[in-house]
Structure 1
C-alpha cells in the first residue's frame, strides 16, 4: 500500500493570551465587589504590597431598623463604612434568639423555641411539617406548639408562621378598628378573590361599600408577607458608582469615582532591603516576583479605570437626551455603537458595562441599562426603556376606578406614534412590576 505525505505551508492567525492579558480581561469584567474579593485574595500574602479596599473609606448611612435593633456608632456618628456595616450586621437567628431569651416563659419552652429558629426559612416561615419537627426535636406535638406560640410573639409579627395566611393574621393586630375586623376576614376567606380581582363578589359577601373595602385592602397591603426582611433576613446590595456624570461649566463630563477605586500601595523599603548582598537569592527572587505581581495588578487597575471612563463617556454622548430630560428620552443603543465610538471590540465593551454603575443627575444606573432595543415610532426609532417610561406615565395618570387595559395602553401609544402590541405591553408591565388593570382597579 502506497502512502503519500504532502507538506504544505499555511499561514494562520492565532491570538495567544498571556497571563497578563487574561488577568487584565478578568479585572475589567469584575464588578467592584468581585474585584475587591479578587485583589484581597491576590495580595493577602504579598510582602511588598498593601491593598486598600474601596469599602474601607466609602461611607453609607446606617438604615433604621424596627424596635431596638438600631445600632449607634461608638462616637455617636450615624455613618458607617460598608465594612463596619456588614461586620456589625447580626443574623436573623441571633436577633430572634436574643428576643426569646428575654421573654417571660419557662426555660424549657424558651430553649425549644430557640431550637425552632434553626428551621425558619429566609422569609421567616416555619414550613417544616409537624411530624418532621417531632422526629427531629424528639418532643411532643403539645410542647412544640407551645414553643411555636412563643416564637410567634417576637418582632416583627409574622415570624414563625406556617403559611402566608397565618403570617398575615399575626400582623392584623397592628391595624386599628373598625378596619381590623374586615382585614381579618379578607385574610381568612378572600385572599384568592383579591388576587383574582373579584372585588364585587367580596363586597357582596362582606356587605360593605366599595370605599370601605378599598380602605381595608390598603390596610392589608401594609402587612409584610416576608417578615424576616425587617430583621435583615436578606442582605441588600450596596452600590458604589464607578463613574459620575457632573456638570463642568456648561458641559456634562464623566469622572472616575476615586472612592470606588481599589488602591495598591507598594512598600519599596522591603524590596530595596531584599536587594542587599546579604539577602539569599531565593528570598530576593520571592520578593521580586511579588513586586512584579503587584505592579501588574496596579497596571491592570489603571487600564480598567481608563476603559470604564471611555465607555461611559461614549454612552454619555450617545444618550445625551437622557442626561438632559430623563428616562423617557433614552435612545436605542447597542454594544456595537459604543464599540465603533471607542475603537474597542464589542467583547471589551460587554465586559466593561457588566456590573459597573454610573451616578447621573437622574439616579444611579448600571452601564448596561443604557443599551436598549429599537422600537419603531413616528419619529423613526425609540427605545424599549422610553416605551416603559411612557407606560409608567399613562398608568400613573389613569382613573383608578377604570384603569387602562393592555389593549387601551397599546392604542394610546400607537396614537403617540409608538408601535407596540398588547403582548409587548403586558411583557413590559410585568418587567416593571405593575399589576394588570383588573388588579389595579380601585372600587371606592
Structure 2
C-alpha cells in the first residue's frame, strides 16, 4: 500500500498475528459447485484451491476456496482446533469454480477433497498460531471501487465498501498478512468453466502478495447475496457460457480491487489492540413445507424433462432429486436452522461473521450498529442458502423462490429470518461498542 498511515494517539499497538496457506489437491473429475445446471466435473486446475488461516491472538479465521461449507464441516474444524484457539470462524470464499465439499449442498459431494480441506484447515491454523508475532494493525476502506451491481434490481445504485486490515511487523515494516473483505459474488466465471479456480479473489490475493513477498492475504466475501458483477442469478440455470465471463475478466476485476487498496489511505488502529470474540447462536425459521405442492412440482418437472434442452434438463434433474428427498426424508412441516454469529473486536475495529448468503442491506445494518468500523463477513460457519430481507420476498426470483433446492434445504427461510440474524449481530457489535 502507498502512503503513511494516519496515526491515532498513543503507543503503537501490538497484536499477535500469524498466517498460513495450505493448498488442497483437486484431481480432474472432481464435482464442482456453484451452478445447478453444470453437471460436468472439473477437467483440471486453473489456480490452486487454498485453505488460509489468520490467527489474531487466540482467534482464528479460516478461508476456503469453495462455494459453500456445511455447518457440520465448520464444527468439525473447530473441534480439531479446540486445544489451540477458543474461537475459530470457518468461511467459504464462495467461488463458483471450486470443488464441491458442501455435504449435499450446491452439488455432488466430493468426500475425499472435503476431508483434505478439513485436514488443511487444521494444519493452517496450527502453523499460523505457532508463528504469531507482534504486529501493528492498519485499517483501509474504499467506497464504491467500481466493481459490483445489484443483480435483483439492476437500476438500483449500490455503495459498496472494500475493506482491509493490514498486519505489519513494526520492527521492520514488513506486511505479515492482510484481510480483505468485499461484498460481491465471486462468480465472474460462468458455468461453462470446468477448471478449478478461486475466481477474482485469487487475483486480489496474487497482486497484494506479490507486492509484499512472504505475506499472506486472506480474502473473504461480505454480505453479497444480491450483489455480483452484473448478470442475473438465473444465469446459473445454463451450463453454456456467454464467452464474456473469462479468466482474463476475473483477473481484471481482482486487479481493480487490489489496486484500489494500494492507492487508499491507511489508518493505524490505536489503543490496546487485543482480539476478543463473542459467539451467539439463533434458530432461524424456514417456511412451512407443503408436501402436496412438492408432489405437484415433482410431477410437472418429470413431465417437462421429456421436452427440455440439456441445460433445462440438468436443472430439472436437480430439482426433482430435491423433491424426492423432501418427500422421502421425513422433513418436519416446520423447520429451523441454527445460525452461528461471531463478533471479533480488534481495538476500535469489529469483525462480524454471518452464515449463509446475507444481502447487502443486512450487512449495512450491522455496520451501522457501531460508530467505529465494522467489517461484515458472509458465508461463515455454514451456508444453507440465501437470507433475503423481508421486503425482498415480494419480488420473488432465484434467491427467494428457488435456491433452497440447490442448497438441499426443505424450504426457503421465512420472512423475518434475516432480521433475526441482523438483530443478534447488531447486539453483539453494539454491546461491545458501548451502545
Say which one has the larger Rg.
1
| TM-score (normalised: structure 1) | 0.21
Structure 1 or 2: more helix by fraction: 1
| TM-score (normalised: structure 2) | 0.21
Structure 1 or 2: more strand by fraction: 2
